[in-house]
A and B are shown apart, each in its own frame.
Chain A
């Protein structure tokens, strides 16, 4: 335990932990010191110079000022206020020019700071650099001209283990750019977008397309929300972190004009079925002495898949051939549900609401397209991030917290196993519940695999399935993935099954989540997900009746089943 000390901020005594910065002390006591480059999970850059305070007659940045016993700090004098304002004017020069085009709307951290500190951003003109917006696949993009060089995106990208982004150039020519090294590429995880305070790096928006589709009378709009969105979107509306907003979201989606409210969770149950089968088959093959690629890797995170296809293509046989949840359920709606409801599948527009930017890239992949009833179809038409969804609701004056609760449509049924897909370890846990059923004909006795839960970047466990011992690992972020893959290179038998996610904590810490994301907040969102599972009567994917119905629909359609349930992988080039 660190020592507790006392510091005096504006004459008031506060308890602090030794080693904390004055900014941290202030923040944990709800004292207001403006800051923009500081992020609690990232290295201190101290470049925005907004968090100024005075201590011992010296003006200094509170993010770098370490609290010491008896320290006296002033945060309020006139000179400080004036200088913070001036730095804010310089930093955000011309910022509002972009607001009409910006999708972020409120809460925009930059705009919030401007309002609070009486700065319009029109006091100075920003230096316009002759640099184009750079697109990262079909997932994210950055505009160097909006960037404030805080370095948060660069640092999180390094933290994730990719190092795609960098700031180049001197003085006012300093600008955000990407790594030219042909061996380094973006994996579309979007962590940079959730760490950008000024919307310079952001998702590639699908809002306009979705708004247009919602107005198109000829279309049948289906909404499906990912597991993670329900326990994070509340943050955009000032709700308690981790609160499950699912039932209010169903109402909200109906109010927006979606005709059918289904759930990516149903897709997650489909994925679990296919993936558990794939795992069981591989294990059986190995037992029979046949060649098979083990350990098997999960494939539901497109950022991870891109990582493997780009950095470690030799391993692609290890990826499960199961498609990902949104792709599974999207195709299920356009085949099974369309037939059942008697609608023309080409009229269906599937919109996924995801905590993720790489899901946008995934939705655009040709390889997932299929044919049904003579139409060429793609499983998912558009993907909105949690942030985009919040924007859409706000634009339509839908105040989520005050809505009545409602249920999803029948075909949106899901099991508890699906709910936890959003947390790192959840996919593994779900698959093992069903694999146990497949391999032993019995149900897993203990449904809570505590060893694979939580925020640790690499979790290892040995799980008993019948008399078999399965060695598993659960990995979050590319940095950790690299370590585990290198370990597997050295020891092919280290694991039987490994779950990989690109983002810290899994999808729940995804790149499409609210900007409020920090590791501490992600933890609370995760708790929300596990409590959904614990409350469900059906906690195993194979108990999901809707999924069973879908599979029985496919029994006499092997070609279609092959097309919409499985996928393959290929080595990728830079920018692919």
Chain B
């Protein structure tokens, strides 16, 4: 297929990145293509680090051909022969019997696709941090400007796509794209990864997959840590945004249980670079550890840290703590923080 044609089809299909930021794919392609650098890379990010998000692993296991096909299409579009797959090390172990033979084939066709394995982490999926890691530097984010993908790897620009985006690209090229997305569904009878239409409402997805809870519940959508918290009523209207996950909580889940999960995640995943996220997330974790089950949550102490993390963290990781905590407080407890 001619490249312009593919680009037009991608635009027409409305493809957006599935890493979480939902940036239009065709714009990203044009931007990197227009750069004059003598060398460019395509990088596939296969290291989702959010709690309970396993859709990339699912796709790699079930559709490895599509993913690699998408990767080659992106390489051809840029006119490069070099790419990296940034693998969560456990994912690579789980899928290499399928991936390695495919990469051998690529090599025979003259495409050099290297595997980069990293310790599973959330920050490892952040663009700058991921590129730093490939360069052998510390896995920490880069400044917002110049854009990390322009400085890329060793100064060469990078076209970075998530596994699912590459899968979508392959589907578009084959004419079989159906505007779907994958999500992990957790906290239900039939936990697992499901594929459904992008406009489908959360509650409908639960019903269709025979997962609609029989108990009172609230739900977290778009990441088991950074996702938004919705009531079961709100779930009737909401679609899945951010990264692909739907997680059900019993309404009886205590605030301490819920916040423990969130705070522990951020304290563990903060890369340690900036004050609000590094020290704020640790203080939050400590604070909660000191609150006994059933006692009042000290929101007046929690709120300033959430705010400073949201407004002044260096990268999106630290900032993202605000959504789950604020939406939980507002939608479930009815308090504004």
Question: Residues of A with Cβ closer than 8 Å to B?
Answer: 44-50, 52, 59, 61, 64, 79, 82-83, 86-87, 90-91, 93, 124-125, 127, 148-149, 167, 169-174
Contacts and interface: CB of A to CB of B under 8 A. Distances in A.
Contact of B267 (A52, A167, A171): A171
Contact of A172 (B144, B270, B305, B308): B270
B314 A46 contact: yes
Contacts of A45: 273
A167 B278 CA distance: 13
A169 B143 contact: no
Interface residues of B, number: 30
Contacts of B283: 90, 93, 124
Contacts of A87: 275-276, 308, 312
A49 B270 contact: no
Which of B121, B271, B276 has the largest number of chain A CB atoms within 10 A?
A: B276
B238 interface: no
Given A149-B278, A172-B267, 6 more contacts: A79-B311, A87-B308, A124-B279, A127-B286, A149-B272, A171-B267
B313 interface: yes
Contacts of B278: 149, 171-172, 174
B308 A83 contact: yes
Given A48-B275, A90-B275, A90-B283, A171 B311 contact: no
A171 B308 contact: no
6 contacts: A48-B274, A48-B275, A83-B311, A87-B312, A90-B305, A172-B279
Given A59-B312, A86-B305, A169 B275 contact: no
A90 B287 CA distance: 13
B79 interface: no
Given A59-B311, A87-B308, A171 B274 contact: no
A64 B269 CA distance: 24
Closest A-B pairs by Cβ, 6 of them: A174-B272, A172-B282, A90-B279, A171-B270, A86-B308, A49-B312
B39 to A, nearest CB: 25
A90 B314 contact: no
A173 B281 CA distance: 12
B143 A90 contact: no
Which of A47, A48, A171 has the largest number of chain B CB atoms within 10 A?
A: A171
B268 interface: yes
Contacts of A46: 143, 274, 314
Contacts of B305: 86, 90
B290 to A, nearest CB: 11
B304 interface: yes
Given A59-B311, A86-B308, A47 B275 contact: yes
A49 B282 contact: no
Contact of B275 (A59, A91, A170, A173): A91
Contacts of B282: 127, 171-172
A148 B273 CA distance: 10
A84 to B, nearest CB: 9
Contacts of B274: 46-49
Interface string B131-145: 000000010000110
B277 to A, nearest CB: 8
A20 to B, nearest CB: 15
A185 B75 CA distance: 44
A167 B267 CA distance: 17
Contacts of A172: 267, 270, 272, 278-279, 281-282
B312 A93 contact: no
B271 A171 contact: yes
Contacts of A64: 143-144
Nearest to A175: B272
Contacts of B276: 49, 86-87, 90
B307 interface: yes
A170 B272 contact: yes
A170 B281 CA distance: 12
B272 A171 contact: yes
A167 B269 CA distance: 16
Given A124-B283, A172-B282, A47 B269 contact: no
Nearest to A124: B283
Contacts of A127: 282, 286
Interface string B281-304: 111001000000000000000001
B308 A47 contact: no
A91 B273 CA distance: 12
A148 B286 CA distance: 19
A50 B282 CA distance: 18
Nearest to B119: A170
Given A46-B314, A52-B312, A90 B272 contact: no
Contacts of B314: 46-47, 49
Which of B267, B270, B274, B280 has the largest number of chain A CB atoms within 10 A?
A: B274
A558 to B, nearest CB: 57
A65 to B, nearest CB: 10
Contact of B271 (A82, A83, A93, A170): A170
A557 to B, nearest CB: 58
Nearest to B139: A170
A48 B277 CA distance: 10
Interface string B49-76: 0000000000000000000000000000
A170 B308 contact: no
Interface in B157-180: none
B157 to A, nearest CB: 21
A169 B272 contact: yes
Contacts of B280: 90
A167 B138 CA distance: 9
A46 B270 CA distance: 16
Contacts of B272: 149, 167, 169-174
A129 to B, nearest CB: 11
A562 B312 CA distance: 63
A190 B190 CA distance: 61
A91 B269 CA distance: 18
A91 B286 CA distance: 16
A433 B307 CA distance: 64
Which of B304, B312, B313 has the largest number of chain A CB atoms within 10 A?
A: B312
Contacts of A125: 286
Contacts of A171: 267-272, 278, 281-282
A163 to B, nearest CB: 13
A44 to B, nearest CB: 8
Contacts of B279: 90-91, 93, 124, 172
Interface string B215-255: 00000000000000000000000000000000000000000
B121 to A, nearest CB: 8
Contacts of A47: 273-275, 314
